[in-house]
Chains A and B, each alone.
Chain A
Amino acid sequence: MVREAAIAVIESALAALEAERQYVNDLNVYPVPDGDTGTNLALTVRAVIDELEQSDVRDIPSVAAAVTKGSLMGARGNSGVILSQIVRGVCEVWGEAASLDTAVFKRALAEGQAAAYRAVREPVEGTMLSVIREMAAAAQAVPDSAGLEHLLTAIEAAGTVAVEKTMSQLPVLEKAGVVDAGGYGLLVLFRGLAAGIEELLRGGLGAAARLVSAAAPAELSRFRYCTSFLLRGEGIDAAALTEFLSGLGDSALVVGDERTVKVHVHVNDPGVVLSEAIRHGSLDAVEINDMHAQTRERDARLGAPRPQAGGAVVVAVVAGEGNKRLFRELGCHAVVDGGQSMNPSAAQILAAVEGLDSEEVVVLPNNGNVILTAEQAAGMCARHVAVVPTRSIPAGLAAMVAFDPALDAVANAEAMEAAVAGVHDAEVTRAVRDSELDGVTVREGQVMALVDGRLVAASDDLREAFAAVLRAFSEGGAELVTVLTALNGSGATREELAELAARVAPDLEVTFHEGGQPLYPILASAE
């Protein structure tokens, strides 16, 4: 019954987050379409429930182990990784104590905080980290003799204050007048968790069992394909879609607003899901994974170049068919689909690493929001895995150019980091909200040009944004510019961009490749 109780409590946390996930997503202060914090946290928690539902654990130590495993494997995005580390720390203490009272909960939270800080190289105040730290500190001030409900209230109160404080801790939050999305998401999860525990304490296990049957099927998932995608349209009815999906499979999750939703569901026929979805809008970032992992692993082995004895193989996180082809041609052995807007889980990266027949593995996350996830996957793997912290697809390609299949993971990682060190990158995309950033005012729908993460121009014309990128590169002393295009529907052609490059920056060598990445008509790098 421990398992059922744990599922009930975590379902309660997830329900609280799902009720506020759009608000959490909207706290994203950047106008860049990115992996949304609310979605990443929700998918991470969903993975914990999936793991519990699929495992046959009965006692507290094994339930705690399953919760840890589910969260570490399911972690998506930086917020998901930090959450999973908190969960791991908490579960270590809970699993060892094999009971839950005020003293145990206090120690568990302290360990959760410590684990989270260990996971981040340079902890920043005004994020999830400061929130968990203040929650843990408040817990320590409550005497062991106090009841659990009293403790939960004290922690929640401290969390609320800490979240409000984030606004003044980070200048970018202060300017936008919002609190940190990850910190707020964590607080919302805790509130849901506390409500679940309190309900459990009041109603005993009977109530927990009711919660379980109302929320999700408790038996093992009967469905084969994990299906996820982005749906864009007008007036999307998330509730109706959820109802439709629930009739087809399980683990249905529809998050977003009426114009863009992210959909996740386990079904036996993904085609039916996609057919229904296109009636509501257009699809993007479709990902269908066979949960019978052996099939996928075999495919990965057959499709990839064979590793050299003692030499390293490369796993890269890449979005866009053209980009994936470039990585493969450069000798990358396995590609994990994802990046902007759909951050892969640690489990997906781990599966790709373990699907390859080599002890030496280099992982290229190719996105700032995937680096921690990749490091988490590396930490869970017994092989020699080196993560080169590439922040963009063009940077990842520059790293691939330095790849030498005769060298081991560490030697390759060193060479790749050196190759990436001098690379600047740029992205051109449409603003998803009005904003003012780096002194530039952007209206929703305008084309933005960002160079090394800094907004350099906003325009209604893609060509003008591209010209701004080229000028910034040229002023920065660049020689070689690589442009990855996905121009469908952007109103510009590659020929126009090439002519523009010859005119605006005649001193640069500019090469174009069809990248096919979602959301970003242009990704570019300069060396």
Chain B
Amino acid sequence: MTASLSLDNTAIVLDSTCDPPDGFFDRPGMHMIPLRVHFGDETFRDGVDLTYQEFFARLGRSPVLPTTSQPTVTEFSELYSRLREQYAHVFSLHISGEMSGTVRAARQAAEAIDNVHVYDLRTVTTALALGGERLRARLAEGCTLDQAKAYVEHYRDHSQLLIHAATLEYLRRGGRIGRAAAYVGGVFDIKPLIDCQDGVLGGYAKVRGLKKALAAMERFIEERTRPDDDLYFCTIDAVNDEEPPLIRELIERLRPRARFVFHGHVAAVVGTHIGPGAAAFAMIAE
């Protein structure tokens, strides 16, 4: 089997809801398409015009809740055309179509351009970035087109995401929450744990206190992975320094073969919906 795909001939596109770690898109072949954040009449490109620090500072003092909007088909077309001049293939990986119309715009743009492979990863935030990173690892080693596609499909079907949200207020107002609609968050110190299934965020557990949250995360990891899994995982926070190191310790204790890939920060669009104080992790068994 010949390795036809590599970092030299294949580009990866992620949308800005992947909440990348610092420097993630500074590497060759990694490209981000920004969603938009609107504070009243002011519009910002997520992760481009507004860093996550600036976003949460603004969220704290803004009298109005920001709104978000997806990239246009034209923006996707321009990006894909430009990338295809340099790369033979483009893998474009996106936020669940249940949460945003981003992937539909991408598909529409890709119809007119060959060898642009658009995927709805059925997830959001750092789970998108982890998917992009692990695909990149395949490309770095060299793989066939079918192997790359098979990996993305495996990732789409098996990756896990668990968000420890400080409140559901933002998700609820934005209408982004499915099964978790009945969950109360923020009240009486309840911080809900939100998972993602079938592309939809839903309530996994309602917990009070960090220790109980970590206990529920332990249960989640035991349920969704096996002890001998080759596990890759990442963590993320939204103005929460305390929790991600504890999550990392937990996963490494439960799954000694697990490899920590990176730690990221929630950017403006996802931040608009889950609010400050959240932490999350994503993982994939390969």
A511 with B182: CB separation less than 8 A: no
Cross-interface CB contact of B206 among A308, A401, A480, cutoff 8 Å: A401
B170-223, CB < 8 A from A: 182, 184, 187-190, 206, 208-212
Bound form: Cα–Cα A400–B190 in Å: 11
Contact A509:B210 (CB < 8 A) given known A329-B188, A330-B187, A401-B188: yes
Bound form: Cα–Cα A509–B210 in Å: 8
Contact A401:B182 (CB < 8 A) given known A326-B188, A329-B188: no
Among the 9-residue stretches A8-16, A34-42, A134-142, A402-410, the one with 4 or more Cβ atoms under 8 Å from chain B is: A402-410
A308 with B188: CB separation less than 8 A: no
Residues from chain A with Cβ under 8 Å of B184 in the complex = 329-331
Residues from chain B with Cβ under 8 Å of A511 in the complex = 189, 208-209
Within the complex, the shortest CB–CB distance from B26 to chain A, in Å, comes to 39
Bound form: Cα–Cα A425–B162 in Å: 31
A496-518 contact mask (Cβ, 8 Å, vs B): 1 or 0: 00000000000001010100000
A287-335, CB < 8 A from B: 308, 326, 329-331
Residues from chain A with Cβ under 8 Å of B190 in the complex = 330, 401
Residues from chain A with Cβ under 8 Å of B208 in the complex = 401, 480, 482, 511, 527
Residues from chain B with Cβ under 8 Å of A513 in the complex = 188
Residues from chain B with Cβ under 8 Å of A482 in the complex = 189, 208
Residues from chain A with Cβ under 8 Å of B189 in the complex = 482, 511
Instruction: Count how many chain A residues have C-beta atoms less than 8 Å from C-beta atoms of the other chain.
Output: 19
Within the complex, the shortest CB–CB distance from A324 to chain B, in Å, comes to 13
Cross-interface CB contact of A330 among B188, B210, B212, cutoff 8 Å: B188
Bound form: Cα–Cα A527–B216 in Å: 14
Bound form: Cα–Cα A329–B187 in Å: 7
Within the complex, the shortest CB–CB distance from B160 to chain A, in Å, comes to 22
Residues from chain A with Cβ under 8 Å of B212 in the complex = 479-480, 527
Bound form: Cα–Cα A127–B189 in Å: 42
Bound form: Cα–Cα A513–B189 in Å: 10
Is there a chain B Cβ closer than 8 Å to A397's Cβ? yes
Bound form: Cα–Cα A142–B25 in Å: 97
Bound form: Cα–Cα A511–B212 in Å: 14
Cross-interface CB contact of B209 among A397, A404, A509, cutoff 8 Å: A509
Within the complex, the shortest CB–CB distance from A310 to chain B, in Å, comes to 13
Within the complex, the shortest CB–CB distance from B185 to chain A, in Å, comes to 11
A402 with B188: CB separation less than 8 A: no
Residues from chain B with Cβ under 8 Å of A326 in the complex = 187-188
* B206 closest partner in A (C-beta): A401
Within the complex, the shortest CB–CB distance from A351 to chain B, in Å, comes to 26
Bound form: Cα–Cα A308–B181 in Å: 12
B182 with A404: CB separation less than 8 A: yes
Bound form: Cα–Cα A405–B184 in Å: 11
Contact A308:B209 (CB < 8 A) given known A329-B188, A401-B190: no
* A398 closest partner in B (C-beta): B208
Within the complex, the shortest CB–CB distance from B255 to chain A, in Å, comes to 24
Residues from chain A with Cβ under 8 Å of B188 in the complex = 326, 329-330, 397, 400-401, 513
Residues from chain A with Cβ under 8 Å of B187 in the complex = 326, 329-330
Bound form: Cα–Cα A145–B208 in Å: 68
Bound form: Cα–Cα A330–B188 in Å: 8
Bound form: Cα–Cα A397–B188 in Å: 9
* B183 closest partner in A (C-beta): A404
* A510 closest partner in B (C-beta): B209
Cross-interface CB contact of B211 among A308, A329, A404, A479, cutoff 8 Å: A479
Residues from chain A with Cβ under 8 Å of B206 in the complex = 401-402
* A513 closest partner in B (C-beta): B188
A464-483 contact mask (Cβ, 8 Å, vs B): 1 or 0: 00000000000000011010
Bound form: Cα–Cα A404–B184 in Å: 10
Residues from chain A with Cβ under 8 Å of B182 in the complex = 308, 331, 404-406
* A329 closest partner in B (C-beta): B187
* B179 closest partner in A (C-beta): A406
Residues from chain B with Cβ under 8 Å of A329 in the complex = 184, 187-188
* A512 closest partner in B (C-beta): B189
A330-356 contact mask (Cβ, 8 Å, vs B): 1 or 0: 110000000000000000000000000
Residues from chain A with Cβ under 8 Å of B210 in the complex = 509
Bound form: Cα–Cα A527–B188 in Å: 14
Bound form: Cα–Cα A331–B209 in Å: 20
B209-246, CB < 8 A from A: 209-212
Residues from chain B with Cβ under 8 Å of A479 in the complex = 209, 211-212
Within the complex, the shortest CB–CB distance from B250 to chain A, in Å, comes to 15
B138-149 contact mask (Cβ, 8 Å, vs A): 1 or 0: 000000000000
B252-286 contact mask (Cβ, 8 Å, vs A): 1 or 0: 00000000000000000000000000000000000
Bound form: Cα–Cα A482–B189 in Å: 10
Residues from chain B with Cβ under 8 Å of A330 in the complex = 184, 187-188, 190
Residues from chain B with Cβ under 8 Å of A402 in the complex = 206
Bound form: Cα–Cα A51–B184 in Å: 42
Residues from chain B with Cβ under 8 Å of A404 in the complex = 182
Bound form: Cα–Cα A206–B78 in Å: 103
Bound form: Cα–Cα A199–B208 in Å: 63
Residues from chain B with Cβ under 8 Å of A480 in the complex = 208-209, 211-212
Within the complex, the shortest CB–CB distance from A53 to chain B, in Å, comes to 44
Residues from chain A with Cβ under 8 Å of B211 in the complex = 479-480, 509
Bound form: Cα–Cα A280–B247 in Å: 60
A169-190 contact mask (Cβ, 8 Å, vs B): 1 or 0: 0000000000000000000000
In the complex, 19 of the A-B residue pairs with CB atoms within 8 angstroms, ordered by the A residue number, are A308-B182, A326-B187, A329-B184, A329-B188, A330-B187, A331-B182, A400-B188, A401-B206, A404-B182, A406-B182, A479-B209, A479-B211, A480-B211, A482-B208, A509-B210, A511-B189, A513-B188, A527-B208, A527-B212
Residues in chain B within 8 A of chain A (CB atoms)? 182, 184, 187-190, 206, 208-212
Q: A401-B190, A479-B209 are in contact. List 13 more A-B contacts (CB 8 A).
A: A326-B188, A329-B184, A330-B188, A330-B190, A331-B184, A479-B211, A480-B211, A480-B212, A511-B189, A511-B208, A511-B209, A513-B188, A527-B209
4 closest Cβ pairs, A-B complex: A480-B209, A479-B211, A329-B187, A509-B209
